[in-house]
Structure 1
Amino acid sequence: MKIKYLLYSVLTTAVLSGCIDVLDKKDLSAITEKDVWNNAQYATAYLNKLYRDNLPGWDQDVAGYSDEAYGETGILYGHLTTTSIDNWPYKEIRNINIMLSSIETGNIDNATKTSLKAQALVLRAWRYFQMVRLYGGVPMILEPQALTDDLYVTRNKTSECINLIIKDLDDAIDALPWKWTGDDEGRFTKATVMALKGRILLYYASPQFNPENKAERWETAYTYNKMAAEQIEANGYGLYDSYENIWFDEMNKEVLFVTRYQEPDITHHWDAATRPLSEAQNYSGCNQPTKEMVESYPMITGTPITESPDYDPLHFWQNRDPRFTSTIAYNGCKWELSGKKDRIQWTYQGHSTLNPSSSGFYCRKAINVSYTPYYTERSSTDWIEIRFTEVLMNYAECAAENGKSDEAYEVLKRIRQRAGIEAGSNGMYGLKANMSHDEMIAAIMLERKIEFAYEGKRYWDLRRQRMFASEMNGTRRHGLLPKLKISPVEFDKIKDNIDIDKDYTTYFKDSVVVLDQKYEINFQNNYYFYAIPNKHLETNSKLEQTQDWDNGTFNPYE
């Protein structure tokens, strides 16, 4: 069973289940605040609603903010204004703060109270971290404000925000178990907290927050992420055997931080937005891989395609990293969507009038092939915000930054081994030996790009590493659009019998197409910390605008 994030039905049922005095004039549909904090069931229902309101979920747009997929966005074209990026969830944070302060007023048993508070603290840490990675320092409000309070608050320094976020996680961890069971599966655990803290420390050490490359931040991040990886694995988590099935074998040992979905109550439309419209419903056009992304995958030997004598650009799908097949759908591949046995995915020009892929590719990541079109917009596949592989990758990056390349190598080998890349005679899984610091960091960032493709990580990695200028600026993203060499009528007669590994070039010619037709990529340097939207400045005269935005004075690096 998945967590039921329902509040009102639980509370209403609880209220109406007891004996009722018909002469009592009390509003029988209401539950007072005092009732909630004196009853563990009510308080748990309140927390469940906080989970539902604050957990991250599927984002079908974020791949288009990077080189993973095409998307017209002011972020990449340099067209943002001070109103463009608005993530200001103080209403949700207030509700978390209400629980943290009010639960102390009730008579719920201490063990339950401590557990509920710990989970709320993690939610608050998560919400604040989401803002800090966008804006730098923000007002850290830790109590529910009253109308009589001074509501004109200032922005805390970024360092203060990070410290308070870490404190919330540290205060929470001891009260949480390593694992939950039954209906509670999916709640925060010690592993969740350690993984999230490790990610935050990595961010704080990275160039976005640490342009002066202060060594002590990398040392702190290294020590913690190494310990987190070791302890999390010692307590039953680890790399799941099947890369492709991480998303479909729910709550497997790789899952650390998860948002659970259950049709019909809580669903998403990732499948509909990502699949071809012919096999979806009401959504389409997202997460279509670029040629640049497709070419990032190495060969099955782990060797880059630019260095492998076995790479055939006319049959580019052959002998690639197995994660390629799990992630990229290309012209002529088998993709049995809607449960259609032996279904072939075509992407050639003119194959469909139903909003065909503009890049010539589709994303297969986390796409449930058993869904019929009806269920594609009612998907219940869980969102995994952090999986164990990320903990390992965070540890490897911190190790590399601390000159411990041997440790970084071992992590990369483990991940490539799980992916199915061949070890080779030297046991290096295609990795170059004796890499320099810069080469190792580049290898780690490439491995993250491949391993976490379409998992909402690439855009954030480019931000924290300040890599937009070196990776994307001055470029345009491309697709690879196949064109038929014979008439569509003739092709329809024979297409079910074609062996694309042998006959592809007989029937198709691939043409490179430019996806960014209007503008080149031009990510601006001040985008590493976005502007606070004007509407928030207008309602609070004490808020400073971020430096490099409309004469802003707030320094996000302090």
Structure 2
Amino acid sequence: MKINFKIGLLITGLAILASCTDLIDPALENIQNKERLRERPDMVQGLLLNAYLRIPTNSFSFSEVATDDAVTNDLTSGLLNVATGQWASNYNPLEQWTNAQSAIQYLNEMLAEVANTEYASNPNVNQMFIDRMTGETYGLRALFMYHLLRTHGGIAGGELLGVPVFQESQTVNSDFNIPRATFAECLQQLYGDIDRAMELLPMDYRNISNEEVLPARYSAMEVQTGEYNRVFGDDAKQLLSGRIAQAIKAQAALLAASPAFNLDNDPSKWIDAATFAGEMLNDIGGVSGLDPDGVTWFSNISMIDNLGAGDNPSEVLWRGSVGGTTNDLETEHFPPTLFGNGRVNPTQNLVDAFPMANGYPISNNSSGYSPDAPYSGRDPRLSQFIVVNGSTAGPSGVVINTALDSDTNDGLNKVETSTRTGYYMRKLLRQDVNLDPVANTGQRHLQPRIRYTEIFLIYAEAANEAWGPTSASSFGFSAYDVIKAIRQRAGIGTENGDEYLESIRNDQAAMRQLIRNERRLELSFEGFRFWDLRRWDLDLTETARGMSIVNQNQFNEINVENRVYRDHMIYGPIPYSEMLKFSALQQNTGW
């Protein structure tokens, strides 16, 4: 009995010891070294997926609340702190350094490993998978470089600098303490990555029905249509394509040509931006390719609800997932009487930027604008994008009273979720969402990463600077043509032939201001204004204003929020934590 008891203790002890060993030493399955990684194509592709998940435009930033376009009633907002004087190198809610550099590290690892794994037993299919994922990786690396340059590029030591360039994955033995490359060097790295991506990727992912349209390299490999479709067909829609890579190149070129980043006003940079955008627009028929329903892309209910898997409306080049039925946007931004938090409040500054329907700015003597009826006869986009006093909203068409003496919580500064400016945001929101707790319903939403209207506006801005307002260069359409089409689509100047546009059609400076204003309106609340003001090197300190209404007929402009920026803040800072770690880094001047 004693012997059996001792044997039992021994067995129990060994079992406990074995379990402790398992507890202390991770199981083999959890140690994914490179050899095991290469045996798991899904894990290699996970490197690429990690970068997709980090794309900054996967959600709306609402950085407009740090500009003259909007304020927020969320008094804990980091963007409010940025706008009111707390922006610093150790406090930067807009920082992209960590996110983008992490994505680039994953992408560099992907480039090192993508060809070391078998993705399909068919050699042709396997090679096409390698080509596609390599192309995606280069395109995504360029995308993250663009966001790094936009967010952290700036002048240091009298020189325009970008960020450190890492073309290989870093290990614990790598030297991380390297200086920032020049802005020009970073841009060339970005362009090179785009060119590599476009060599490997189709312009669009789609099924083909015959081998005559195969790319030459795959014809030489005797690839079959079914094999091609497996890799580059409909199932790959919404992955980064050659056309998306083109768009990233145009975005980066516009940044590089802009006053804050084009210190010697090199005209060739404007030509580059116009050329990259123009080539894209030629592929969709030029100005005739402008989506007639593109203004209301966010509320085209039938289109959104019936959008097929991976498909885009003609306005959208690249988007995230449409997803299921949600109401998050409406919960955040509907007025209080619709059970929303009213977070983003458009300013009077932005409202004033909408012209009259006849095309004249409201400050022009020919506009017909009346301060006593400030919302009458205006650009139709005003009512499509902004809830003004007396607008109807929500699934039952409730009248929204934003007046100071409103008898609802929608009124000016009534409660913490009320408007601070006299306006609520309508754009991006679906009015058929019901937030009533008794009958709560959600709807599908479109989340674009790149819209074609942005490409049209890139072309208009760059072409005006490169060749003047009416020169079509080799593309067959001019900056003037683009702006005319955009305004016609919006319903501007339909009865008078857009007299204002015609009056400035040969004035480059006036056209520049009009293009910038059209960009402000068309891309409002989509995260552009904050960056546009900076790349244009414009005044950042315009006070955010609102409208106080009494008795429904007394309109008084009010100051809502001061903007506290200093001149050097046209560029963002290098994170303070990075400056502490790496002596080779130079901080942008003023930070």
1:270 aligns with 2:295: no
Aligned mates of 2:522, 2:172 — CA distance in 1: 48
Decide whether aligned partners of structure 1 residues 29 and 383 sit closer, same or farther in structure 2, where only a CA change above 3 A counts: same
Aligned to 1:320: 378
Deviation at 1:128, TM superposition (A): 1.7
* Residue identity matched to 1:80: W
Pick one of 104, 107, 111 that aligns with 2:115: 104
Q: Deviations over 1:86-108 (max 9, x none)?
A: 32222232112211211122233
Matched-pair contact (CA < 8 Å) for 1:255–1:386? yes
Decide whether aligned partners of structure 1 residues 176 and 138 sit closer, same or farther in structure 2, where only a CA change above 3 A counts: same
Deviation at 1:187, TM superposition (A): 1.8
- Structure 2 residues without counterparts, runs of 5 or longer: 1-25, 73-78, 120-125, 154-161, 207-233, 305-311, 471-477
- Structure 1 residues without counterparts, runs of 5 or longer: 1-24, 486-503, 550-558
Aligned to 2:260: 208
Deviation at 1:224, TM superposition (A): 2.2
Aligned mates of 1:57, 1:239 — CA distance in 2: 23
* Residue identity matched to 1:157: T
In our comparison, the structure showing a higher alpha carbon Rg is 2
TM-score between the two structures when normalised by the length of structure 1? 0.80
Decide whether aligned partners of structure 1 residues 376 and 83 sit closer, same or farther in structure 2, where only a CA change above 3 A counts: farther
Deviation at 1:540, TM superposition (A): 1.7
* Residue identity matched to 2:48: L
Aligned mates of 2:442, 2:144 — CA distance in 1: 26
* Residue identity matched to 2:204: K
1:84 aligns with 2:91: yes
Pick one of 124, 134, 150 that aligns with 2:175: 150
How many residue pairs align between the two structures? Answer: 489
Aligned to 2:163: 138
Matched-pair contact (CA < 8 Å) for 1:271–1:379? no
* Residue identity matched to 2:536: Q
Pick which of 298-307 and 200-209 moved more: 298-307
* Residue identity matched to 1:172: A
Matched-pair contact (CA < 8 Å) for 1:348–1:482? yes
Pick which of 352-361 and 165-174 moved more: 352-361
Aligned mates of 1:431, 1:358 — CA distance in 2: 37
1:127 aligns with 2:127: no
Q: Deviations over 1:114-139 (max 9, x none)?
A: 11121122222111211111221111
* Residue identity matched to 2:559: V
- For 1:401-412, what aligned pairs fall within 5 Å after superposition? 401-406=465-470, 407-412=478-483
Pick which of 428-437 and 139-148 moved more: 428-437
Aligned mates of 1:75, 1:36 — CA distance in 2: 42
Q: Identity percentage over the alignment?
A: 23
Deviation at 1:163, TM superposition (A): 0.8
1:419 aligns with 2:490: yes
Aligned mates of 2:440, 2:466 — CA distance in 1: 45
Decide whether aligned partners of structure 1 residues 159 and 512 sit closer, same or farther in structure 2, where only a CA change above 3 A counts: same
Pick one of 441, 453, 459 that aligns with 1:389: 453
Aligned to 2:400: 345
Aligned mates of 2:35, 2:131 — CA distance in 1: 18
Decide whether aligned partners of structure 1 residues 144 and 330 sit closer, same or farther in structure 2, where only a CA change above 3 A counts: same
Matched-pair contact (CA < 8 Å) for 2:298–2:430? no
Matched-pair contact (CA < 8 Å) for 1:237–1:388? no
Aligned to 2:463: 399
Pick which of 130-139 and 221-230 moved more: 221-230
1:366 aligns with 2:428: yes
1:228 aligns with 2:280: yes
3-state SS of 2:71 partner: coil
Aligned to 2:64: 63
Matched-pair contact (CA < 8 Å) for 1:178–1:235? no
1:260 aligns with 2:316: no
Decide whether aligned partners of structure 1 residues 133 and 147 sit closer, same or farther in structure 2, where only a CA change above 3 A counts: same
Decide whether aligned partners of structure 1 residues 54 and 452 sit closer, same or farther in structure 2, where only a CA change above 3 A counts: closer
Decide whether aligned partners of structure 1 residues 49 and 465 sit closer, same or farther in structure 2, where only a CA change above 3 A counts: same
Q: Deviations over 1:367-422 (max 9, x none)?
A: 01122227999875232232111111111111111233111110100111111223
3-state SS of 1:301 partner: coil
Decide whether aligned partners of structure 1 residues 526 and 42 sit closer, same or farther in structure 2, where only a CA change above 3 A counts: same
Matched-pair contact (CA < 8 Å) for 1:135–1:530? yes
Aligned to 2:9: none
Aligned to 1:491: none
3-state SS of 2:128 partner: helix
Matched-pair contact (CA < 8 Å) for 1:301–1:421? yes
Pick one of 323, 343, 355 that aligns with 1:286: 343
Aligned to 2:200: 175
3-state SS of 1:70 partner: strand
Aligned to 1:510: 555
Deviation at 1:27, TM superposition (A): 5.1
